[in-house]
A and B are shown apart, each in its own frame.
Chain A
């Protein structure tokens, strides 16, 4: 079986969950190798985690360039490793940066790319990727017809399954291109965690929209989320109004999520919002307006004021749990 390279996303010295999902998917189409770039001292523990989830080899490269310059150093590294390994496919997480790295690497390898896959499986002519397009109204399957398939995969495409492998380290010394130092990262401010589950990883999401009315209004949304152990989402209208951070926006220009349960509160259900949530398993809506389009895709809806319905629901959940 050929080598499938997985670019392992990490932050604060820890592997991010989508990378474990990629390693799990990689096993369907070949033999997974992890690529760990710029992890410094954490490389060891990241290697161990990757091995636990099936990485037979772990390519490790470290250099100041990975943190100090934007995108291109990682492109240089991944392209170099892919060539040397004669990889049969590359899997990268579908984040903003992940997609940019993947695309530039694909171009250098003269290979086709598929972005935002929600599933990957083996096919006769190489890996078959499933995508959800046109605001999730279509499902498309595609294959790469030229070169080494490069596929970026959205978080939550599968659940990570451990499958211990050797995880043999290969240290790589990267030859950086002239372009590597083109874009300088002048400063970096880490996002402070809310302590709640990550939007893209959560099994349940409680979202608020313009109907929440004010930043303070989000406390009823947060209380419901906390009673369920859910993540908090927001519509663009709520984010644009400055009521909730952009990192929590659900939709076309925010996060695309598909949790088990999505509760939309004071959200009308515009196509761009639906693009981010309509593949959720169960959808529930609370809205004052019986005509709100969100009800067309809801499994259960309550026509009412969210400031009445949510606190009552939260109290019920707390009562049932204790």
Chain B
């Protein structure tokens, strides 16, 4: 039977832009251009590699996000995913990680899955807990933060680099995995891939389609509140000296003046 691999991606504000907050303390999505979170490109790459080594598999890229998030789907499709599913609903504005995980849990069950592949964290919110929450909600194993992943005979296994040890983890499918930026460079979409992506199907679903009560999501359904957001005063550049053979000495003098030595 064909293996269904879902990869969850997020459309995020470009990290090299000037990211800020809006008045309701949510991310200002108009201030900066958006793109497919770079950390999710690794997830798409691993999903494609697993699919290629498995032969009979389908890669479906899934997102929850505003209309522009279609750009993120497009990119994943041009990398080689087979089709896409997009959930968008104005009631989703300001949804926290629990709301997001509940919508995505409904969504992946609606689509059906053997394996869900996520990135290690988003590049904006950056909590890194969505894959674990999704596994909790779906009641399937989490095999997360992998620098290496493979699926063989209905079993997913991989390497997880922790702070104190590297572990080899293993679980039976269906499962949720997340991969790190050490899992292997993501491929660039080829010209052929970009052209093919234009014809690939994108399915749109709103909260009604998923049977989700709008009151449980959005800012009002959030279990945390941001009370203040203050821009950190930019660091001011100090003195910069050119090394004329005495750079190390001058640096030592600076460190001594600051009592580091």
Contact = CB atoms under 8 A, between A and B. Distances in A.
Partners in one complex: yes
B162 A96 contact: yes
Contacts of A133: 126, 229
Contacts of A135: 15, 19
A296 B237 contact: yes
B109 interface: no
Contact of A309 (B132, B224, B229, B247): B247
Contact of A187 (B21, B128, B168): B168
Given A134-B124, A145-B225, A302-B250, A290 B240 contact: yes
A195 B232 CA distance: 35
B229 A138 contact: yes
Nearest to A129: B224
Contact of B141 (A102, A182, A247, A305): A182
Contacts of A190: 164-165
Contact of A141 (B98, B172, B226, B243): B226
A27 interface: no
Interface string B110-138: 00000000001101101111011100110
B142 interface: yes
B224 A144 contact: yes
Given A144-B223, A320-B261, A138 B231 contact: yes
Interface string B156-167: 010011111111
Interface stretch (B49-57, B76-84, B252-260): B252-260
A230 to B, nearest CB: 9
Given A146-B223, A303-B243, A185 B129 contact: no
A253 B165 contact: no
A187 B140 CA distance: 21
Given A142-B226, A228-B261, A95 B169 contact: no
B141 A141 contact: no
B223 A309 contact: no
Interface string A125-168: 00010001111111111111111000000000000000000000
A300 B229 contact: no
Contact of A204 (B137, B169, B170, B260): B260
Q: Which of A297, A300, A308 has the most CB of B within 10 A?
A: A300
A64 interface: no
A188 B165 contact: yes
B228 to A, nearest CB: 5
Interface stretch (A28-36, A37-45, A107-115): A107-115
A317 B127 CA distance: 40
Interface in B1-53: 15-16, 19-21, 25, 39
A189 interface: yes
Contact of A316 (B121, B168, B248): B248
B251 A302 contact: yes
Nearest to A282: B258
Contacts of B145: 96
A11 interface: yes
Q: Interface extent on B, as a size class? A: 35 or more
Given A183-B170, A188-B167, A300-B254, A95 B240 contact: no
Contacts of A314: 248
Contacts of B129: 99-100, 102-103, 113, 115
Contacts of A12: 164
A278 interface: yes
A107 B137 contact: yes
Interface in A268-322: 271-272, 278, 282-284, 286, 290, 295-305, 308-317, 320-321
Given A100-B129, A190-B164, A295 B141 contact: no
A252 interface: yes
Interface in A92-108: 95-97, 99-100, 102-104, 106-108
Nearest to A71: B142
Nearest to A96: B145
Nearest to B125: A133
Contacts of B238: 298-301
Q: Which of A107, A139, A308 has the most CB of B within 10 A?
A: A107
A97 B162 contact: yes
A190 B164 CA distance: 6
B89 interface: no
16 contacts: A70-B167, A100-B131, A103-B97, A111-B223, A112-B224, A113-B224, A114-B224, A136-B232, A147-B223, A186-B168, A186-B169, A187-B167, A191-B165, A252-B126, A271-B16, A303-B243
Given A142-B227, A290-B240, A299-B238, 17 more contacts: A104-B133, A112-B96, A113-B224, A128-B227, A182-B140, A183-B141, A186-B169, A188-B168, A247-B161, A247-B163, A272-B15, A278-B235, A283-B235, A300-B240, A300-B251, A303-B241, A316-B252
A-B pairs with lowest CB-CB distance, top 4: A312-B248, A304-B243, A112-B223, A182-B141
